[in-house]
Amino acid sequence: MQQLLTKANKGDTQAFETVCTRFPATAWLWEVAGNIGAQVQESLLMAYLGKDALFSHEAQRRACAALRRDLEGPTPSPLERVLVDRVVLCWLHLHLGEGQYAQNMQHYSLRQHDVYQRRLSMAQRRYLAAITALAQVRRLQVPHVQVNIAREQLNVAALAPAHPHQHHAERTAR
């Protein structure tokens, strides 16, 4: 199968047609091949760790999977899954960049330090923006109740968390 996929990715139309006809109902194959987020994650890990760091690579894969599970919770919506993927990729990109900077910082000129700091700041902004977007989507999922008493209108947000992983401090801050 790997040889067929490699040939198909190199433009071999016969190999591509064989894959499509031999494995049309193999959902996992198409899900894995079509998961660009997972491919980007693997590319980032490969660029940072290299091809020979098998244990470190697997440890980082598992760390990303654990973060993804923690952020998604038991029943994520499709939009939450997309945003969680973005948070995980931004988290990985930021931390790998920090690691690369830390490993080489003693060799950098002042100009290179400045360039790296700007890159890390941009990665941090993307990471925080992804977290903010996920939090906003979850906040929008909180059921609201409107109560009309005589001529007074009262809008109340439910006190139960919209997501099971919402922290106690967030619930009590409302």
Please report whether residue 75 resides in a domain: no
Q: Is residue 155 part of a domain?
A: yes
Q: Does 159 map to a domain?
A: yes
Please tell me the total count of domains within the chain: 1
- Whether this model's pTM surpasses 0.85: no
- The stretch 31-47 carries a mean pLDDT of 88
Q: Which structural domain range is residue 172 located in? A: 144-174
User: In three state form, how does the secondary structure of 96-159 look?
Assistant: HHHHHHHHHHHHCCHHHHHHHHHHHHHHHHHHHHHHHHHHHHHHHCCCEEEEEECCEEEEEECC
CA separation, residue 53 to residues 3, 45, 48, 60, 104 (Å): 24, 10, 10, 11, 19
User: Residue 17: pLDDT above 90?
Assistant: no
Q: How confident is the model at residue 24 (pLDDT cuts 50, 70, 90)?
A: low
Q: Is residue 149 part of a domain?
A: yes
> Residue 147's pLDDT band (boundaries 50, 70, 90)?
low
Within 10 angstroms of residue 9's Cβ, the number of other Cβ atoms is 12
- Given a cut of 70, is residue 144 above it in pLDDT? no
Average pLDDT over residues 46-70: 94
Q: Taking 70 as the threshold, does the pLDDT of residue 162 lie above it?
A: no
Residue 30 lies in a domain: no
Is residue 116 a part of any domain in this protein?
Answer: no
The two tokens of residue 130 are 């992804």
- Mean pLDDT, the chain, rounded, equals 85
Q: Is the pLDDT of residue 8 over 50?
A: yes
Q: What is the pLDDT of residues 79-121, one digit of tens each?
A: 999 999 999 999 999 999 999 999 999 999 999 999 999 999 9
Residue 28 — very low, low, confident or very high, per pLDDT cuts 50/70/90?
Answer: confident
> What angle, rounded to 10 degrees, do the helices at 54-72 and 36-49 form?
140
Tell me if residue 41 falls in helix, strand or coil. helix
Residue 171 falls inside a structural domain: yes
pLDDT score of 169: 42
